[in-house]
A and B are shown apart, each in its own frame.
Chain A
Amino acid sequence: MSTILEELATIYSDHVWLEVSPQQIEKTWFAEHDYSYYVARWTAFKNRLTLDAFLVWIKEESGIDKQADLWPSIEDLPSIWEVVNGTAVQIGKTRIILIPNDETDIDEFCVPAEWVDIPSWAGDYYLAVQVNIDGPNGGWLRFWGYTTHKKLKQAGQFDKIRRTYSLEREELIEDLNVMWVARKFDGDEKAPVESLPNLSAAEAEELLKQLGQPSCYSPRFKVDFEKWGALIGNRTWRRELYQRRVMPQPPVKPALELWRCLQNDFVEAAQAGWQKFEEVFGTTYENFYGLRGIRGLSYNREAYRDSPGSPKHAASVKLAKPIDLGVKTTKLSLALVTVLTQEVNQQIRFRIQLSPIIKSQAGGTGSRNLPEGLKLIFTDESGKIFQDVAAGSGDRIIQTKLFSGEPGDRFTVKIVLRNACLTERFII
């Protein structure tokens, strides 16, 4: 540590002073580049420097013996830094929010409202970090105080334009040892956080379209906070937002409207690449109702009982869609199959299957077995996984269980093989 920093550490003995080398600064700067505007990149740079230094300090100097984990995960950090300053670290049950700032003075501590008012984001403690990297000999970080969620909510000045909670320097606790001890007492340091309204998938999609366009400042100011908080509080949507802002988006495929198919309206289905089952597989049902090789369904009789054509069904449809995962395997042709039935009580039930297309009619020698590890993942509109089926060795077909739903319900099916992923969307 340089002499002057040592002197500062003696004068401000409660603060934690960490030196940062020019090499660290340069390495971190060039590592953080996938952001859609300059301020986001700078935010990511400051936070990464702070986080790396903090994790090392926790381990080597803090005096506590707990492991620190990132929240929610290291992969999620870019999606957070793209839109707001701050990093969350979890130590046991305690969540600490690091808020780095590169201003000259430390008169005021500002925390973005996201870290206080989004229920899943709110922390227990908020750590103020001053970042200085302007010298030719590197820079330093200064952890100069902390406060609690309760203090921010009850005593913080809320700026509704900047959407921040602020405290003056004197209102922070400058000795971090107090935080570590307070943590052990497990005291009541968090104020109640009101839940945010639920967003439907349609509303979320609308927001993603609006906010997903790259812009030169954070999208957090473009909509009211309740909607914004609900959107980025959801991990899937937040990641989607990041993807759209940072990476070019392929055109969104329309969802297959199953109810139309039940009414013999196949126009849109055909446009989306769906065909009648027989057109893809021929007239054989070997792949479907074989006694072996069906994963995802434990009892074959159920498959027959629920098969189209059985008396209790008012209408039934089987559609298939050849899919290309882009995997370079000459013998693999796959098709996604939708088995759809409408019962006499109008309830719609469906199952999704994945099967190889045996090119037996053409005299080919296509593989009968699915590649091991091929996955079929069924999720609802919010991204929640309802079933995840993987092909094992020798499997010829994988399928979901029989689901039912209400008209208008949306779901998604993903087919994943190693790094390849294909998504199909459906509306019941």
Chain B
Amino acid sequence: MDEIIEMFSTYLGLGDSNGRLVIRQVSDSELATHITSLLQFYPDANAEFFARKFLKDLRQFLRSLMGDIITLVLSNPGANTEFVMLLLLNALRLCLELRESRHLVVFLQHIGKISARRVYRRWQNRLQLTQLYTQQDFYQIAWSIASNPAKFFRKFKFPSSLTNYARSTMERKINDEIFPHLGLGAHMCSDWGLLRRESRSFLKEALQTRWSEKQLIDCYLSARDCFNQIYAPHTAPGSHSLSKPTVEQFQAMADLYNQLVQPATIAGSEDIRQWLNECIIALRLYRQIDITSIDTPSSSEEYSPPFCETIPDRPSHCQWERLNVQEPAEQFMAVLPQFLATIPENHRQLLLLKCGCGLSFRLIAPFFGVVPSTVNHRYNTAKQALLNQVAQWATQMLGVSSESYDLEEISARLEECLKKYYQDFVFRSVLQNALSLVDCQYRTMLHLRYFRQMNEADIACQLPISTQEVVNGLATSSQSLESAIASWLQNHIEAPPDLLMPVPNWITKLVQTLVETYLDHNFISTEKEKCQQF
């Protein structure tokens, strides 16, 4: 219950702790009171339940609000664009202030913290990226994404798992945010190259930050559409730099613009040139947008407290940081083993490595002595075979149609199930037993480090022992678990010894992942008791 209260009422932020930026938690008393009262009505409900409830309430509110706005506009024939914009802005503000919306913001912040950590860990080896971003930056990106739950959940469809949707969407959005800075995007383009390469939707967003008149924005967008119809590189590809369009090209763009848009005033080539320059300026500014910390003092004050200190403080009831993983549909899990039995053994081993151990095709390939493209082929074959069986089953037993968008839902459930199935398989086959052989104190350290995401210094404070003892303990216990998994894999799939000894990094990450995200509830209860005794 405490976990649920925390998950829906305790904001996350960054604060200074002895010169280091650490995560701070600030409880919102109003939200805490509200969720506590709801828990009295729904004592057995989990986080998924409440998140779905709040989202439904939020959507209902939005529908009602839009209805009121439409009624207001229709009843005011003289209403102009600015009036409507004002109404919509007010509606957005009301929406964000709504209690259900705030509950979801907090929920998404907690999801975002875990997702940001995962994404950062994944990109940690990319030196270029860590020079651009710290882990704290990833947190802030995630919390920025979390700030508008109506937009975040816009494409979510009930009755899918909301928590799983939130996790995958959050990770994807964080990845999308950093993607252009991986040296793969068009950020090193000339002005004309930039104008050509950016998407229309991105340009629209950029223009909206500078201009509010819809007509003007549409004009610029149309000019850019005409530019794309006429301008293209005409030398061999590979250059970021594109030359300026010729006079004839600008004139052709003007002619095309006038033909398509049929404006009241005919546009000339000079008009087109000017509009395209506005687009370029908007794109440049939007790409390098200044980020101002929310803790920055306001213009009228030399100093003001950090943002999180403006929220009323109360002692945190947090004992556990926990991410609720929605259990995949029970029916799927029940039938999955019989479907898996129909695919070849080497495909099942491939799925174990891919879904259970999280390996890429490149890392899987040496296990079978083939090239990565062959692994890709086998994986696709296996997945299609399973999806085909599951889809047929779902069509017969659940009445689900076999069209693409319904199959997509089934495929998403299947992926969840495969991951759960194989992680469970690895945990129960080897890790659970291996953990029971580890010293109690070390087990506790592992739990606090990977499940509760505490750092070594905080663990040392809690136990209490020295930080160095914690570091040594974690290393020792991790090594024994990693060796156990490596040994088990070697026997289970007859892997070549040199692939697993010395223990590769991915097994280290697998141990961390299994402790972090796959939990045996009995184990946790037992450990909780032991911790309290300890």
B289 contacts chain A at the CB level, 8 A cutoff: no
Q: Which of B172, B360, B407 makes the CB contact (< 8 A) with A181?
A: B407
A39 / chain B contacts, CB cutoff of 8 Å: 228-232
Q: How far is the CA of A136 from the CA of B256 in the complex (A)?
A: 34
A302 contacts chain B at the CB level, 8 A cutoff: no
Which 9 pairs between the two chains have the least Cβ-Cβ distance? Answer: A63-B380, A185-B402, A42-B232, A170-B155, A63-B381, A105-B199, A38-B232, A39-B232, A103-B199
B383 contacts chain A at the CB level, 8 A cutoff: yes
A125 / chain B contacts, CB cutoff of 8 Å: 404
Contact A161 to B225, CB < 8 A, known contacts A4-B182, A61-B377, A187-B402? yes
B1 contacts chain A at the CB level, 8 A cutoff: no
Q: Is the CB of A178 within 8 A of B202?
A: no
A30 / chain B contacts, CB cutoff of 8 Å: 236
Q: How far is the CA of A60 from the CA of B371 in the complex (A)?
A: 11
Q: Which of A12, A22, A43, A148 makes the CB contact (< 8 A) with B175?
A: A12
Q: Which of B183, B232, B248 makes the CB contact (< 8 A) with A41?
A: B232
Shortest beta-carbon distance, A312 to chain B, in Å? 58
Q: Is the CB of B199 within 8 A of A108?
A: yes
Shortest beta-carbon distance, B508 to chain A, in Å? 16
A210 / chain B contacts, CB cutoff of 8 Å: none
A42 / chain B contacts, CB cutoff of 8 Å: 232-233
Size range of the interface on B? 35 or more
A222 / chain B contacts, CB cutoff of 8 Å: 259
User: What are 14 contact pairs spanning A and B, CB under 8 A?
Assistant: A29-B237, A38-B233, A60-B373, A62-B377, A63-B377, A63-B382, A64-B384, A104-B180, A104-B197, A105-B198, A107-B201, A147-B404, A178-B387, A181-B391
Q: How far is the CA of A184 from the CA of B385 in the complex (A)?
A: 11
Q: How far is the CA of A103 from the CA of B228 in the complex (A)?
A: 11
Shortest beta-carbon distance, B249 to chain A, in Å? 7
Q: How far is the CA of A173 from the CA of B407 in the complex (A)?
A: 10
Q: How far is the CA of A89 from the CA of B460 in the complex (A)?
A: 62
B41 contacts chain A at the CB level, 8 A cutoff: no
A304 / chain B contacts, CB cutoff of 8 Å: none
Q: Which of A9, A22, A61, A188 makes the CB contact (< 8 A) with B380?
A: A61
Q: How far is the CA of A104 from the CA of B378 in the complex (A)?
A: 31
Indicate with 1 or 0, residue by residue over B243-268, a CB within 8 angstroms of chain A CB atoms: 00000110010001001110000000
Shortest beta-carbon distance, A212 to chain B, in Å? 18
Indicate with 1 or 0, residue by residue over B167-178, a CB within 8 angstroms of chain A CB atoms: 000011001000
Q: Which of A38, A64, A133, A185 makes the CB contact (< 8 A) with B391?
A: A185
B369 contacts chain A at the CB level, 8 A cutoff: no
Interface residues of A in 314-332 (CB under 8 A from B): none
Interface residues of A in 353-403 (CB under 8 A from B): none
B182 / chain A contacts, CB cutoff of 8 Å: 4, 8
Q: Specify which of A1, A10, A139, A178 lies most central, judged by the most chain B CB atoms within 10 Å of its CB.
A: A178
Q: How far is the CA of A189 from the CA of B122 in the complex (A)?
A: 38
Interface residues of B in 384-410 (CB under 8 A from A): 384, 387-388, 391, 401-405, 407-408
A7 contacts chain B at the CB level, 8 A cutoff: yes
Q: Is the CB of A103 within 8 A of B249?
A: no
Indicate with 1 or 0, residue by residue over A144-173, a CB within 8 angstroms of chain B CB atoms: 001110110000000001100000101101
Q: Which of B199, B381, B403 makes the CB contact (< 8 A) with A182?
A: B403
Q: Is the CB of B237 within 8 A of A133?
A: yes
Closest residue of B by beta carbon distance from A150: B403
Q: Is the CB of A6 within 8 A of B402?
A: no
Contact A221 to B256, CB < 8 A, known contacts A105-B201, A134-B238? yes
Question: Contact residues of A with B, CB < 8 Å?
Answer: 1, 4, 6-12, 22, 25-26, 29-30, 37-39, 41-43, 45, 60-64, 102-108, 110, 125, 132-136, 139, 146-148, 150-151, 161-162, 168, 170-171, 173, 175, 177-182, 184-185, 187-189, 215-218, 221-222
Q: Is the CB of A178 within 8 A of B377?
A: no
Shortest beta-carbon distance, A78 to chain B, in Å? 16
B306 contacts chain A at the CB level, 8 A cutoff: no
Closest residue of A by beta carbon distance from B252: A216
Q: Is the CB of B202 within 8 A of A107?
A: yes
B126 / chain A contacts, CB cutoff of 8 Å: 4, 7
Q: Is the CB of A217 within 8 A of B252?
A: yes
Q: Is the CB of B198 within 8 A of A189?
A: no
Q: Which of A133, A162, A189 makes the CB contact (< 8 A) with B238?
A: A133
Q: How far is the CA of A61 from the CA of B252 in the complex (A)?
A: 44
Question: Contact residues of B with A, CB < 8 Å?
Answer: 119, 122-123, 126, 154-155, 171-172, 175, 180, 182-186, 189, 197-202, 222, 225, 228-234, 236-240, 248-249, 252, 256, 259-261, 360-362, 372-373, 376-384, 387-388, 391, 401-405, 407-408, 411
Q: How far is the CA of A134 from the CA of B249 in the complex (A)?
A: 24
Closest residue of A by beta carbon distance from B193: A134
Closest residue of B by beta carbon distance from A64: B384
Q: How far is the CA of A17 from the CA of B123 in the complex (A)?
A: 18
Q: Which of B172, B201, B362, B388 makes the CB contact (< 8 A) with A108?
A: B201
Q: Which of B189, B233, B260, B411 makes the CB contact (< 8 A) with A177?
A: B411
Q: Is the CB of B237 within 8 A of A221?
A: no
Q: Is the CB of B122 within 8 A of A7?
A: yes
Closest residue of B by beta carbon distance from A186: B402
Closest residue of B by beta carbon distance from A12: B175
B236 / chain A contacts, CB cutoff of 8 Å: 26, 29-30
Q: How far is the CA of A84 from the CA of B184 in the complex (A)?
A: 27
Q: Which of B198, B222, B403 makes the CB contact (< 8 A) with A161?
A: B222
Q: How far is the CA of A168 from the CA of B199 in the complex (A)?
A: 12
Q: Is the CB of A10 within 8 A of B360?
A: yes
Q: How far is the CA of A30 from the CA of B230 in the complex (A)?
A: 20
Contact A108 to B404, CB < 8 A, known contacts A4-B182, A217-B252? no
Q: How far is the CA of A221 from the CA of B222 in the complex (A)?
A: 14
Shortest beta-carbon distance, B292 to chain A, in Å? 24
Q: Is the CB of B388 within 8 A of A184?
A: yes
A181 / chain B contacts, CB cutoff of 8 Å: 384, 387-388, 391, 407, 411
Q: Specify which of B233, B376, B384 lies most central, judged by the most chain A CB atoms within 10 Å of its CB.
A: B384
A104 / chain B contacts, CB cutoff of 8 Å: 180, 185-186, 197-199, 202
B172 / chain A contacts, CB cutoff of 8 Å: 12
Contact A216 to B249, CB < 8 A, known contacts A180-B384, A181-B391? yes
Q: Is the CB of B232 within 8 A of A162?
A: no
Q: Which of B183, B202, B403 makes the CB contact (< 8 A) with A105?
A: B202
Q: Which of A110, A136, A221 makes the CB contact (< 8 A) with B260?
A: A221
Q: How far is the CA of A182 from the CA of B230 in the complex (A)?
A: 38
A177 / chain B contacts, CB cutoff of 8 Å: 380, 383-384, 387, 411
B362 / chain A contacts, CB cutoff of 8 Å: 1, 6
Closest residue of B by beta carbon distance from A133: B237
Q: Is the CB of B384 within 8 A of A63?
A: yes
Q: How far is the CA of A168 from the CA of B228 in the complex (A)?
A: 20
Q: How far is the CA of A171 from the CA of B200 in the complex (A)?
A: 17
Q: Which of B154, B260, B381, B404 makes the CB contact (< 8 A) with A173?
A: B404
